[in-house]
């Protein structure tokens, strides 16, 4: 989201939404845990690439590149 979008969102900013969250603990928990769900997935390190998969990838790419560059 860029600055312009944020400003545009302000026009539809719902005060009542914040007021509801302030007094409703259930909704606060849902919002908080949903935010954490996204953060946990975003912060998760990509699984290390198994070495055999990596080797196969590099070998296959080099092979196919060479073949393609010969036929180009």
Partner 1 sequence: MARALNFGCRPRAQILEPTSQHPLEQNSWPRLYHLQIGSSSRSNFIPLYVHPPLAYRPTPVSIGSPRKKGIIPDSPFSCNRVSLAENLLHPGGTLEHPIEELVNRYERKIFRLGMNITQNREDAEDVMQDAFLKSYQNLDRFQGDSRFYTWLVRIAVNEALMKLRKRRPNQVSLDEPLTQAEDPVFREIEDWGPSPEQRFAQTELNEILTQVIGDLDPIFRVVFTLRDVEGISTDETAHILGISVAAVKSRLLRARLKLRQKLNKYFRRSESQ
Interface with partner 1 (CB under 8 A): 26, 29-30, 32-34, 36-38, 40-49, 53-54, 56-58, 60-62, 64-66, 68-69, 72
Cβ neighbours for 21, distance < 8 A, ≥ 6 positions apart: 27, 28, 31
In sequence order, what DSSP letters do the residues of 2-34 get, joined into one string?
A: -HHHHHHHHHT--HHHHHHHHH-HHHHHHHHHH
What's the closest the beta carbon of residue 15 comes to partner 1, in angstroms?
A: 22
What's the closest the beta carbon of residue 16 comes to partner 1, in angstroms?
A: 18
- If the CB atoms of residues 9 and 32 are measured against partner 1, the closer one turns out to be 32
């Amino acid at each position: 989201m860029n600055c312009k979008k944020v400003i545009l969102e302000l026009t539809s900013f719902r005060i009542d939404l914040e007021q509801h969250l302030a007094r409703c603990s259930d909704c606060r928990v849902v919002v908080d845990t949903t935010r954490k769900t996204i953060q946990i997935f975003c912060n998760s390190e990509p699984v290390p690439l198994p070495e055999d998969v990596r080797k196969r990838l590099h070998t296959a790419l080099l092979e196919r590149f060479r073949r393609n560059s010969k036929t180009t």
